[in-house]
Structure 1
Amino acid sequence: MRPGFFSFAVLLGLTVACNGGDAATGFSGPSHPGVTTVPVGSSSSTDAMAESDSSSTSSTSSSGWSGSTSTGQDGPKLDMAVPDAPPMPPIGCKGKIDFLFVISAWGGMEEVQKQLSDAFPIFMKKIQDQLGEFDVRVLSASPTGAFNMDSCSNCADAEDCTYNAKPPLCKAELDACDTTLGAGVTFPAGAGSANRRCDFYGGHRYILGEDPMFEQSFACLTQVGINGAVPETAAGMVHAISFELNAPEGCNAGFLREDALLVVTLFDDGYDAFSPGTVESWAQSLRDAKHDNEDAFAVLAFSTDIDAGFGNLCNPFNPVEDVNPLRELADNVAHGHFVSICEPSYAEPFESFVDEIVMLCENLHIPQ
């Protein structure tokens, strides 16, 4: 659905966008309330003496104390309630951010992938500059659960291949996770991709922030190429954060951390018509992964904006009425934004996201 005429530039920057943004400009999303904590309630009691004129008194001070006193045959009594507990201060994520990408390898996505590869490290550097501490993990989840290298002519080690051989004769030794929906991609295959096994520091299916070759690893991870496999972008996200894949023996073991902010970025130039479930079920999977804490995750969805009416960026003279499900997903969570994938530059959307990520990180409440 994405026409071939648009181009992309390097992304960078910092202003938070709010709900109700102009769809034609590509950036929209709900407002972002601050983190709140409900204090523990207090109670008071009164005692009365039935056979005297004296009576108990109760009072509540501005500090939240409440109580009563009485005097009886057994001596004075003091009945005071526990004071209101002050709100617990947020622990914060201490720089821990789990970045999850789901990137379609369908249609005209190759140029989008290149721009993402060039620009995202700059975006993360801006976050790091504001947070000080920075402990990131970056995973690119498979949106297909398929390995599509048609022939060894695409293999990065083609000289070692047999003519017209099929994988794994291209030295592509695959494991079960290479063909698992939502598993971290470590062997991107197809036209325009790395077409080799990404050698990530630490041996995981995701990148660690301390990877000495971070930018090269990120380029390998995000250039998933054009392999013709039908994407299930939202489903890839759902599986990537599932308990099954994040269990100790799962494909993504160690990626999703309890004390980290989760930042999801989706790239799909279509309507994601193939992911099972509903928009609400996709959103609920995020809430389940972060213990129903809406302030523990954020979503940035890049997709076609042909549902934005005349003047949209992707097909300005032929809009459609059906709302893009990925736009609905972004609107369905507290910290979600939708961006037209046909924006000539991704700099402003990513810039606008920096402040919000920093705020969420600093105010993150860790489940006890």
Structure 2
Amino acid sequence: MARLATLASVLIAAACNGGSGQETGFGSSITTAPPAPSTSGSDASTTTSTSASSAEDSAAAASSGSSGSSTSSASSGGIPDLGAIPDGGDGPPPGCKGKVDFLFTISGAFTMKPKQARLKASFPGFIATLESEFADFDYHILSANTSALWGHPVLCAGCQDVCPEVPEYPCGVTPEPCDTVQGAGVTYPIGKDASNERCELASGRRYITTGQPELVDAFTCIASMGTNGSDQVAEATVKALADDINAPGGCNEGFLRDDALLVVVAIQDTYDQGSEGTAEDWRDALLEAKGGDADAVVLLVISTDIDVPEALCGYDPGVEHELRTWTELMQPNALFGSICAEGYSDYFAIVAKMIKSQCDVFVPQ
């Protein structure tokens, strides 16, 4: 409740005063480890560059065995004793077969309008790449609610026909129960710079599914979170993946599938000091969602790079960046990109390669 009150006061101030973004440079800054299809858990090193480089697919194959001697022969008939005939092994892993569950957690901070625009602009190319990679691309796409303030009176006290402070606010609209749940799929983003309408999702659920008409328009609707002051993308991610919210009757019922790869995209222009837990807790939540299988998760974090000397957002050596730590803990199946880059397509191109690589080695639980 303390956090709610604090956020509410910030919202009131922002509604009156507005907000302005801060960006000190443009380009692209990528931190990644090679997207090798191996299990996470070993020490990972990071490299930051000012130009995006395409990730190389890598695969490892090992063969071992012993060659037994067949110099003896059977006691009758003179037929050589060849020993046990090998069964050919278990074969390659089944893979995800094009099934991917995408979870987007998008900050609605007052400075996020241009960053949300870049994210939405990167989406069509990202999806087109994956459609070309998978013959049977079967997706779920959920944009998690980073705020529990939907419909809260503090957003526009005395609202009747028009909200003077935030004219875009859907005055008089009654929220659905899941509209006010942090981590639930967003279907009616509200507030300044938001969609401010109920998004048309053919699935009838709080996320997009394969076959959605006008997919780009539908994603644009659920990803237009606006600038209502909400952030805490790591906490929203954890809540969106919790068992109860994905269980029958939960807000995100059916989103997580046992036989699908999980891809998380978290975007926030600060280093998320407000989320509950630590980077280790956030990592554990991702792994728990996929039965402890690190190869079943790909993580993309787009955030301020203020903590590194090559920063596009301006360098501050005193910053403890939990979102970057979270990314490093999930490597090699994770990528960190600077939110101050002038576009995010390079990041999504690398993540598309990661998805293809990890889908090949994924073993459904």
Normalising by the residue count of structure 2, what TM-score does the alignment of the two structures yield? 0.77
**Contact 1:148–1:190 (Cα < 8 Å) also in 2:** no
Match of 2:321 in 1: 324
CA contact (8 A) 1:137 1:207 kept: yes
Q: Residue deviations 1:193-231, cap 9 Å, x none?
A: 1011112112110011211121111000111000023x2
2:22 maps to 3
**Residue aligning to 1:350:** 348
> 1:197 maps to what in 2?
198
Q: 1:114 aligned to 2:155?
A: no
> What is the distance in 1 between the residues matched to 2:58 and 2:318?
30
1:306 counterpart SS class = coil
CA distance in 2: counterparts of 1:274 and 1:125, whole angstroms: 35
Matches within 5 A, 1:298-337: 298-309=298-309, 311-316=310-315, 319-333=316-330, 334-337=332-335
Look up the match of 2:150: 147
After superposition, the C-alpha distances for 1:15-54 in whole angstroms (9 at most, x for unaligned) are 96686444353879x9998588999xxxxxxxxxxxxxxx
In 1, Cα distance between equivalents of 2:62 and 2:280: 25
CA gap of 1:33–1:111, structure 2 versus 1, over 3 A, is: same
The structure 2 residue matched to 1:96, chosen from 79, 99, 105, is 99
**Distance in 2, Cα, partners of 1:247 & 1:32:** 35
8 A Cα contact 2:143 2:186, kept in partner: yes
1:177 and 1:115 map into 2 onto residues whose CA distance is 27
Give the 5 Å matches for 1:1-368.
Answer: 3-6=22-25, 20-23=45-48, 25=50, 62=67, 86-147=89-150, 150-151=155-156, 162-164=161-163, 170-229=171-230, 231-309=231-309, 311-316=310-315, 319-333=316-330, 334-367=332-365
Q: Distance in 1 between matches of 2:62 and 2:205?
A: 36
Q: Which amino acid aligns with 2:121?
A: D
**Displacement after TM superposition at 1:87 (Å):** 3.4
Contact (CA 8 Å) 1:2, 1:269: kept in 2 or not? Answer: no
Q: Deviations over 1:268-309 (max 9, x none)?
A: 101111111111111011111111111111000000111102
| Structure 2 Cα separation of the partners of residues 209 and 153 of structure 1 | 41
**Which of the pair has more CA radius of gyration?**
1
Structure 2 residue identity aligned to 1:245: I
Unaligned segments of structure 2, at least 5 residues: 1-19, 37-43, 70-82
- 1:300-325, CA deviations, whole angstroms, 9 ceiling, x for partnerless residues? 0000111102x411014xx2333311
Identify if the C-alpha distance between structure 1 residues 307 and 169 changes in structure 2 by more than 3 Å, giving closer, same or farther. Answer: closer
Identity %: 33
Shift of 1:362: 2.3
Q: Select between 328-337 and 250-259 the one with higher mean Cα deviation.
A: 328-337
Provide, for residues 89-112 of structure 1, a one-character-per-residue CA deviation record: whole Å limited to 9, x for no partner: 211111111010000001311111
CA RMSD of aligned residues (A): 3.8
Superposed CA deviations along residues 57-78 of structure 1, whole A, max 9, x for unmatched, are xxx9538x9xxxxxxxxxxxxx
Q: SS at 1:23's partner residue?
A: strand
- Contact 1:2-1:304 at 8 Å conserved across structures: no
2: CA distance, partners of 1:122 / 1:324 = 29
Unpaired runs of 5+ residues, structure 1, are 10-14, 40-59, 66-79, 155-160
Q: Residue 256 of structure 1 aligns to a residue in which SS?
A: coil
- Structure 1 pair 354/348, CA: closer, same or farther in 2 (3 Å)? same
Q: How far, CA to CA, are the matches of 1:240 and 1:305 in structure 2?
A: 25
Alignment length (residue pairs): 322
> SS at 2:307's partner residue?
helix
* Distance in 2 (alpha carbons) for counterparts of 1:293 and 1:100: 17
Following the alignment from structure 2 to structure 1, what is the Cα–Cα distance between the partners of residues 21 and 170? 35
